[in-house]
Chain A
Amino acid sequence: MPTCARMSRLKPRERAMLWLAYAEGASHREIADVLGLRPTSLKPLLFRARRKLAELLGRAPRGGKP
């Protein structure tokens, strides 16, 4: 399945968040401003969206940091 099709299974906000962070290289503050979110709540939302796309890409969850 192409990556676009996998990404279309995410919520629009998750897609926008991931696109801004990993395609445009925007900072957390910039993403929060664009999406009308609090910068403090962006990190967990971005983490969840990233994890969701990783699972859609077939990446199994692993343990935390070394």
Chain B
Amino acid sequence: MKPIDCELESEVLAAVLQNRWPERVDASLREHVAACAICADVAAIAGAIDEAREEMRANAMVPDSGRVWWLAQMRARREAAQAAGRPITAAQVIAFACAMGLLGACFGATSAWFQSALRQTASSLAAFRLQALLSLTGAFVAEHGALFLGMAAILLVIPAAVYLTLLRE
């Protein structure tokens, strides 16, 4: 198998990063680098990256300090306004929910139709028989078995597919 690292590459890298390469290193290390492809690559890459660092420093466009300060102030003000507005939004949501609840309660207390519907529901619940429901369900499954199985399969397959897709991402 082709080697992908060398025990001396950290030594070569340290020499390059400390600007000792190639003049101020042992002759044995220089000889090793001349013969070892991995260390030769490390020396070349580290040197090139050091050069790139100098290029970036030379080409860096530093914005005006006044503009940076002004932008920071604007951002701080915007964030402070957002932080201050958060409790107000929460209070508005709570007030809206309370108003809706109150409206619903008033409607329930005053509407004759709602009262009769409630009474009907209560009486049907009192007359509810589990046995009848089970037999009805059994008959439905026996009659539409294939449809029932298909729906069950879809209910199982779709969440599993969504889960697997999310897992892969």
Chain A residues proximal to chain B, CB less than 8 Å:
2-4, 6-7, 18-19, 21-23, 25, 43-44, 47, 50-51, 53-54, 57, 59, 61-66
Residues of A within 8 A of B52 (CB): 2-4, 7, 23
Q: Shortest distance in angstroms between B13's beta carbon and chain A's nearest beta carbon?
A: 6
Interface size on B, residues (CB 8 A): 29
Known contacts A3-B55, A23-B52; 15 further A-B pairs (Cβ under 8 A): A3-B48, A3-B51, A4-B52, A7-B49, A19-B49, A22-B46, A23-B50, A43-B4, A47-B5, A50-B42, A57-B44, A59-B41, A61-B37, A62-B37, A62-B40
B45 proximal to A (CB < 8 A): yes
Residues of A within 8 A of B13 (CB): 21-22, 25
Contact B2 A64 (CB under 8 A): yes
C-alpha gap A62/B56 in the complex (Å): 30
Chain B 142-168, CB-CB to A under 8 Å as 1, else 0, gives 000000000000000000000000000
Contact A50 B5 (CB under 8 A): no
B141 proximal to A (CB < 8 A): no
Contact B49 A65 (CB under 8 A): no
Which of the residues A22, A23, A57 comes within 8 Å of B42, measured between beta carbons? A22
Residues of B within 8 A of A59 (CB): 40-41, 44
Contact of A23 with B48 at beta-carbon distance under 8 Å, contacts A43-B5, A61-B37 already known: no
Residues of A within 8 A of B32 (CB): 66
Contact of A51 with B49 at beta-carbon distance under 8 Å, contacts A4-B56, A65-B36 already known: no
B6 proximal to A (CB < 8 A): yes
Contact of A3 with B49 at beta-carbon distance under 8 Å, contacts A43-B5, A50-B42 already known: yes
Q: Which residue of A lies closest to B31 (CB)?
A: A66
Contact B4 A47 (CB under 8 A): yes
Q: Which residue of A lies closest to B51 (CB)?
A: A3
Contact A66 B42 (CB under 8 A): no
